[in-house]
Amino acid sequence: MSDQTNEAEADATRPAPPVDAPDVVEALETLPRRRDQLLPALIAAEHALGWLSEAAIEDVSVHTRIPLSEVYATATAYSELRLEPPVEGRWHVCTGVTCRQAGADALLDALAGSGESAEPVDCRFLCALAPVAERGGALFGRCEAQRLIALAVEDGDRS
């Protein structure tokens, strides 16, 4: 019996995936239904939705045929994956060791002092660009507080 036949039979008996957003299912359909596609599937789902909702994690579980507990464990192990919806205009400042040594705490203090919404996040693994901040999906490296505050003011003027 061929692999294609086994996959077709498995598809016929598989329950319909929980649909969080059509874009998530569409993004997952571009990937093979294999265990080794777990991380690419999580990344594709996050890009399609902007974060990983419980339904999106379930979609990944169904697509990759990996138990939900394993998919959730993997999703929570990677600090780069967002498990909460993004908050418009909030700064995320990397607080990994290198970023802290390069001034991440001062960035957080300066942003908070200027009235900006900012929160520390786990290491973004961009140590060569420390300190690193992210806002609205855009990453900023070698950050200085005044530059981030100026960007925030500039964005506020555009709204």
Which pLDDT band holds residue 21 (cuts at 50, 70, 90)? low
Find residue 93's DSSP bridge partners: 120, 133
Q: What is the pLDDT of residues 35-80, one digit of tens each?
A: 999 999 999 999 998 889 999 999 999 999 999 999 999 999 988 8
**Residue ranges of the domains in the chain?**
3-77, 91-158
- Inform me whether the pLDDT recorded for 157 exceeds 50: no
Q: Say which range, 7-11, 57-61, 128-132, has the weakest mean pLDDT.
A: 7-11
Residue 96 has pLDDT above 50, yes or no: yes
**More confident: 62 or 1:** 62
Pairing outcome for strands 118-121 and 91-94: parallel
Its CATH class, for the domain covering 91-158, is alpha beta
Lowest mean pLDDT among 31-35, 48-52, 83-87, 98-102: 83-87
Strand 138-140 to 118-121 pairing: unpaired
- Asked whether the beta carbons of 66 and 34 are under 8 A apart, the reply is no
- Per-residue pLDDT band for 149 (boundaries 50, 70, 90) equals confident
Look at residue 20 and tell me whether its pLDDT is greater than 60.
Answer: no
Query: Confidence class of residue 106 from pLDDT cuts 50, 70 and 90?
Result: very high
Average of per-residue pLDDT values in the chain: 85
**Residues whose CB is less than 8 angstroms from the CB of residue 37 and which lie 6 or more positions away in sequence, other chains included:** 31, 63, 64
CA 121 vs. chain centroid, Å, equals 12
For the cut 70, the answer to whether the pLDDT of residue 18 exceeds it is no
Q: What is the pTM of this model?
A: 0.65
- Written in H, E and C, the secondary structure of the chain is CCHHHHHHHHHHHCCCCCCCCHHHHHHHCCCCCCHHHHHHHHHHHHHHHCCCCHHHHHHHHHHHCCCHHHHHHHHHHCCCCCCCCCCCCCEEEECCHHHHHCCHHHHHHHHHHCCCCEEEECCCCCHHHCCCEEECCEEECCCCHHHHHHHHHHHHHHC
Q: Are 145 and 107 in contact (CB under 8 A)?
A: yes
- pLDDT, residue 101, reads 96
